[in-house]
Every structure is written in structure tokens, then in C-alpha cells.
Chains A and B, each alone.
Chain A
Amino acid sequence: MKKARLDTRYARALRFALLAGLAVTPGAFADWGGWIELEGRWFPDTPLYPPQSDGDASVALRPEYRTQAGDLSFALLPFLRVDSEDRERTHADLREANVKFDAWGLSWLVGIGQESWGVAESYHPVDIVNQTDFVEDIATDEKLGQPMIQAKRLTDWGTVQLLVLPGFRERTFPGEHGRLYLPIDFEHPIYQSPQRERHVDWALRWAKTFGTWDLGLSYFWGTRRDPRLEPDPAKGLASVYYDLIHQVGLDLQGAVGNWTFKLEYIYRDTPVQRYSAAVAGAEYTLYGMADTAADLSLYAEYTYNGTDNTLATLYQNDLFTGARFAFNDLQSTEVQLGVLSDLEQDSLLWRLEGSRRLGENWKLRLTLQGFPRTAPGEPAYYWRKDGYARLELLRYF
């Protein structure tokens, strides 16, 4: 029901954006692109929930159309995934459908857009504009398109960005036929705002470079993107709460010698708790090892989230360590490993990813995800049987 309503709204926005895009760009730059992906996932352990299966196959399509004429540009990036097992994972979205232009001394983006904030490797507490497309991947930054009006201005005292965000997007969650399921009642989210998903959210960010340091300060007022998940024994499922929050954020990254230092910090005021969350860490890169072009980047980050709602975060008090090996070969081969270990509880998860381009237009990606140790109360506890291997083959066009 709700999905259908949302879709009509997007269809209308899309029609408008398309007309606007086509009307103003006669013979200027225009380009089609995008990709199609075949994905298979295999879960070697017996599932925790009986309706689930040992694996799934899916196909995803993400075309891309862009036009530009002078300062005016238009982007359209729809997304569709069809999954063999999980109806929730079968989903469509408009990642982007927007017009960008300059007017009144400001740079504008109107429509559905993507806006990522944050500097860290493992966890992005400051990143709050776009909703996470959680059925895509529990650990990437795959985001749903967010309706927005954005005005940006570069001044001598930094870049200032104001976002008006009409139309909230619910987080996507795997259904009970899908692996990486959480026992939560995502079909009946509880909004604090009486306008529910029609509440208009606001965000503001200021960013400036000081020598070799980049500083950003942000403020958000509106419906939280990461829902509060409160267990409800009567239902046997946790309830999903979208509270109205105020959040201030700080992000900082700097280059000193061979090191890059990163910090993200937020302070959040919610109806049930005031708390902070942070990630702080460093990156070190070894370049051109042994006369090859290969680079090895090493990461270490401390993550903290002060919420009492442990089911809603993986990063309460954890240490992330990681390594990325970029071969810098003709086929852009990369391998990376990340380990998140809890400093309080006996909990550990890891991920190994490898990717390589095949020819000009194909890409192969392999991901191995493991949950060797999990503790009750944290989300990974429900994924303790969901370690998987995923193979993706992408064709760009």
C-alpha cells in the first residue's frame, strides 16, 4: 500500500524532472550508461529461520542518463533488483532524478539526490541525508534516493550547504524469507511525527579547508534514518521507531606526513535519550611496493555509539582494523579485508572483498562475510548463521 503511494509520488517527480531535463538541453551533452549485475549468494550454515534458504540469485539493473548544457544538468539513475528468495529484496528505487543549476549566487539541486557525508572507513555517524538501502548490503553505503532541495554556496569562509528534505524514506530490511533477517516489525513503523513520512527534514553543513585539514560541521533536524528497534515480547518482533531528532555533527580529516587522520562525531537529541557517537582513526599507505605499482593501505579506527538501543548498532565500542591492497594493474584488481571486533563483548565480524575488471566493460566481485562470534542483543547475533559468499558479475554499458 504505502509502497504504491510512494511510487506514484516518484513517478510524478520523475516525469517533471524528465520534462525539465529534456526541455532545456537541445543538442547539448547527453549520455546513457549504467550497469546490469548478476549476483549469487551462498550461505553455508543452516538458517536460523525455517523459511530461509541456502542461497539466492538476483539480477540488478542501474541505468544512468545524464545531460548537461552550460551550468544546467540533469541526472536520472533508476535502480531495480529482482531476488529469487526475498520479496523485500526485490525492490526498485530512483537513486537520482534531479536537476542541478546555478541561480541567485547559489548552486541548486532539485529532485532526488545522493549526498554522502563522512570521512571514516568503517562507520559514518555524520552521514544522515540519505536512507540506507539495507537489503542491498549490511555493510556498504548503498543508499536510497532522497527527495531534496539543496542550495550550496562557496564563500571565502567555507562551503555552506542547506538541504530541505521533503519525503522520508523507510530503511529497507530483508524479509523472513531472506537471510540477514532481523526479527523486527518493519511493516508497521512507528513515527513520532504525525505527518509520518511526509515530515519535512532539514540539514545544514559548513565545510572548510585549513591547510592540510578539512573540517565539516553539520546539523540535522528531522526523522532519524537509523530506526530505534525496541523488543516487543507481545509481538515477538521488535518495534521500529522513527523518532524526530536533532543532531549536530563534526567531521575532520587531515594529512600529516604518511598518515591520514579521520574523526567523525555526533551528538544526538532523541525523545528517549541524548547520546553521542564517534569514529576516530588513521590510515597509512605504502605506495609502489617493490617497484610494482601496488599500494597497501592500512586502517585502524575506534568506533563508539552511546545509544542504549543495542539492537540498532554494530559500532557500540569496537575496533575496526582493515587493509586494502590495490594492485594498480591494467584490470584495477583490488583486495580488502576488514575486521570489526567488539571491545566489550565477545563479538567479531569480518569481511574480505576482491574485485577485478574483465576486459573493458565487465567486473567481477567476490565478497566473503563472516560472523564467527556474536553476542545476544546486538544485530549480528541474528546473523550468526548468515556468514556468506557472494559473487557479482557486472556488465557496464
Chain B
Amino acid sequence: MRRSVKLTIGLLALALGWPVGAGADRNADRGAEIFSARDRLDEGFGDQRVSMQLTLRSANGRTAERRTRMQLLEGPPGQGDKTLVVFDAPPDIAGTALLTHEALGAADDSQWLYLPAYKRVKRIAARDRSGSFAGTEFSYEDLAGDKFEDFTYRFVGEASLRGQQVYRVDRMPIAPNSEYSRQETWVDPDTHQILQAYLYDKKGRHLKTLETGDWVRYRGNYWRPRTLAMTHVPSGRATLLKTSEYEFGVGLKEKDFSPEALSGLGR
């Protein structure tokens, strides 16, 4: 509701060429418009499934591989998505599963972790979501999704990234328990997807850099990256994520995303 009102005003203002409020507000609206368009374009895919190959690189340059599969159920309008990530390799952590029920705005997402060695579904404390997911540079929060409603925005300007003209937008998480204070994003003006992001921790320090690439368009409007690289800036550790082809409309159900469904997913 709130979102659509804001959106309507923004669109109206854009259409009529009116300046909306002072300069700061105009930049907030322009930043918000870019990201709300991204979510709008992505609506209606229903569910998706993808396999992911992760390469972990330690600070001293050694590497190790992880294989996971991820499935996602799109939430009804105004509600968050449900995501499940399950490890397939290495075999000793196969079956390790992370379930996220995304909450929009200031509310904390609910996350559960299943560790086969302990045979227990553990709640992840809201403020603990900065933890590394199975040794990767992706934190629990990074895997929980980033909906339009989760941030406030500021349009910074236009910039050039890898020879491409892009939007520079800063976005600030609304949830007080977020591990980040601010995210600087470089956004593709056509797809409205993030090509690069600098993630700043609560102390304002540049903690991580996310780079996305090999974007593929599925079913007309759904853009998905085939590569994601997350670098931990202070240590130089990095995780490179490569996906398989995405599958959409695979018939996933709510019951596949309940905490009770987490055990026994290993294979």
C-alpha cells in the first residue's frame, strides 16, 4: 500500500517533470524508483530452482569448492520470498540447509539452519546474520534477499563501470539488525540489476564487495546473474559463485519451505 502510493507519486512527478520536494528528496525518490522498477520487473515468476558452484579462496590464495542447490518461492504481493539453500558437496557437509522467510521493511527475516551432524534445526538469532554461511563470504543476511522495501535510497549520479554507463545509488537497510549501514550500488540502467556493490558495516568500514556478471534474461523479463563474486575487503578472502541455468515454474510448494522440511535433504 505504502509502496504503491509512493510509487504513484514518484511516477506522476516524473511524468510531469515536477521537482518533488527538495533536492535530497528528489534523489531519494529517484534511487527508490530505480529499485522499485527492478522488483516490479521481477514480479510473477512464481518459483525458481538453480544449482550453484562456489569457489572459496582464502587470504593466502588456497581454494576449495562447494556445491549447493537453491530453490525460491515468490511471496504473494507485499510479502517476502522463501528461500532454501542446500549443500551437496563436500560430502561431509552435504545436507546442510539454510531456510529463509524474508520479511519486508524493518522486520527481521526468519532464518533456520539445519546441520546434519547435529540433526537439529537451529534458529539464527536476528543480530547474528552477519555469520559466514558454511565458510563462504556470503553471510546469512546476504542470502536472505534484498527487496525494495528493505532499504531507503539515495540517487548519487551516473557513473561508468567496466565501460558501461550505470546509475550510482546508495541504499541504507531499514532493519536495525542488519550487518550493514550502507550499500553503494552500481546499477544497470536497462535491467535495473546491481552490477557491483560496496557493502559497509555498522562502523562505516568497507567490508565486502559484490560483483555480478553474465546476466541472462529468462522468460522475457526475469534477469538472473550466472556469476556472483563476494570479496571480504579487509582480509582479501573471496567466494566466486557460478550458477547453472535457472529453472522457473518447477511446482515448488509452501511445505517445501517449512522448518520441519529441513532434515533429510542431503543426497
Cβ-based interface call for B28 (8 A): no
Cβ-based interface call for A44 (8 A): no
The reply to whether A116 and B62 contact each other, CB–CB distance below 8 Å, is: no
Cβ-based interface call for A255 (8 A): yes
The reply to whether A255 and B120 contact each other, CB–CB distance below 8 Å, is: no
Q: A63 → chain B, closest Cβ, in Å?
A: 12
A287 to B232, CA, bound (A): 14
The reply to whether B92 and A396 contact each other, CB–CB distance below 8 Å, is: yes
Q: A34 → chain B, closest Cβ, in Å?
A: 9
The reply to whether B110 and A287 contact each other, CB–CB distance below 8 Å, is: no
Q: B257 → chain A, closest Cβ, in Å?
A: 9
Known: A116-B263, A253-B123, A292-B235. A357 touches B92 (CB 8 A): yes
Q: A250 → chain B, closest Cβ, in Å?
A: 16
The reply to whether B132 and A394 contact each other, CB–CB distance below 8 Å, is: no
A283 to B177, CA, bound (A): 18
The reply to whether B126 and A255 contact each other, CB–CB distance below 8 Å, is: yes
Known: A212-B110, A287-B131, A332-B92. A141 touches B119 (CB 8 A): yes
The reply to whether B125 and A255 contact each other, CB–CB distance below 8 Å, is: yes
Count of A-B residue pairs with CB < 8 Å: 125
**Which residue of chain A has the shortest Cβ distance to B260 in the bound complex?**
A159
The reply to whether B110 and A330 contact each other, CB–CB distance below 8 Å, is: no
The reply to whether A293 and B125 contact each other, CB–CB distance below 8 Å, is: no
Residues of B within 8 A of A396 (CB): 90-92
The reply to whether B260 and A328 contact each other, CB–CB distance below 8 Å, is: no
The reply to whether A259 and B135 contact each other, CB–CB distance below 8 Å, is: no
What's the interface size class on A, roughly?
35 or more
Which of A161, A260, A292, A363 is within 8 Å of B125, CB to CB? A260
A211 to B108, CA, bound (A): 9
Which of B108, B130, B137 is within 8 Å of A212, CB to CB? B108
Which of A31, A152, A161, A330 is within 8 Å of B64, CB to CB? A330
**Which residue of chain B has the shortest Cβ distance to A282 in the bound complex?**
B125
Residues of B within 8 A of A288 (CB): 130-132
Q: B259 → chain A, closest Cβ, in Å?
A: 6
The reply to whether A255 and B123 contact each other, CB–CB distance below 8 Å, is: yes
A211 to B101, CA, bound (A): 10
Contact with A along B91-130 (1 / 0, CB 8 A): 1111000000100000010101000001111111111101
Residues of A within 8 A of B135 (CB): 293, 328-330, 332
A207 to B260, CA, bound (A): 8
Residues of A within 8 A of B56 (CB): 330
Which of B125, B254, B259 is within 8 Å of A285, CB to CB? B125
A161 to B261, CA, bound (A): 12
The reply to whether A154 and B123 contact each other, CB–CB distance below 8 Å, is: no
**Which residue of chain A has the shortest Cβ distance to B92 in the bound complex?**
A363
Q: B230 → chain A, closest Cβ, in Å?
A: 12
The reply to whether B124 and A255 contact each other, CB–CB distance below 8 Å, is: yes
A119 to B115, CA, bound (A): 12
Residues of A within 8 A of B235 (CB): 291-292
Residues of B within 8 A of A397 (CB): 91
Cβ-based interface call for B237 (8 A): yes
Cβ-based interface call for B258 (8 A): yes
Cβ-based interface call for B40 (8 A): no
Q: B191 → chain A, closest Cβ, in Å?
A: 31
Residues of A within 8 A of B267 (CB): 29, 31, 33, 66, 68
The reply to whether A293 and B237 contact each other, CB–CB distance below 8 Å, is: yes
Residues of B within 8 A of A283 (CB): 125
A255 to B64, CA, bound (A): 32
**Which residue of chain B has the shortest Cβ distance to A65 in the bound complex?**
B267
Cβ-based interface call for B165 (8 A): no
CB interface residues, A 43-66, toward B, < 8 Å: 66
Which of A33, A141, A287, A360 lies at the interface centre, i.e. has the most chain B CB atoms within 10 A of its CB? A287
Residues of B within 8 A of A35 (CB): 91-92
Cβ-based interface call for A107 (8 A): yes
Q: B187 → chain A, closest Cβ, in Å?
A: 27
Cβ-based interface call for A256 (8 A): yes
The reply to whether B237 and A360 contact each other, CB–CB distance below 8 Å, is: no
Q: A294 → chain B, closest Cβ, in Å?
A: 8
The reply to whether B120 and A119 contact each other, CB–CB distance below 8 Å, is: yes
Known: A288-B132, A293-B135, A357-B92. A257 touches B127 (CB 8 A): yes
Which of A33, A253, A287 is within 8 Å of B128, CB to CB? A287
Q: Residues of B with Cβ closer than 8 Å to A?
A: 56, 58, 62-65, 89-94, 101, 108, 110, 112, 118-128, 130-132, 134-135, 137, 177, 232, 234-235, 237, 254-255, 258-260, 263-264, 267
9 residue pairs bridging A and B, Cβ less than 8 Å apart: A114-B119, A114-B263, A152-B255, A209-B259, A287-B132, A288-B132, A295-B131, A328-B132, A360-B91
Additional pairs, 15, CB under 8 Å, beyond known A328-B132, A332-B93, A361-B90: A116-B119, A116-B263, A209-B259, A253-B123, A255-B108, A255-B123, A255-B125, A257-B125, A257-B177, A293-B137, A295-B131, A328-B134, A330-B135, A332-B90, A363-B92
5 tightest CB-CB pairs across the interface, nearest first?
A: A396-B91, A330-B64, A154-B255, A287-B131, A293-B132
Q: Residues of A with Cβ closer than 8 Å to B?
A: 29, 31, 33, 35, 66, 68, 75, 107, 114, 116, 118-119, 141, 152, 154, 159, 161, 207, 209, 211-212, 214, 253-260, 283, 285, 287-288, 291-293, 295, 328-332, 357, 360-361, 363, 394, 396-397
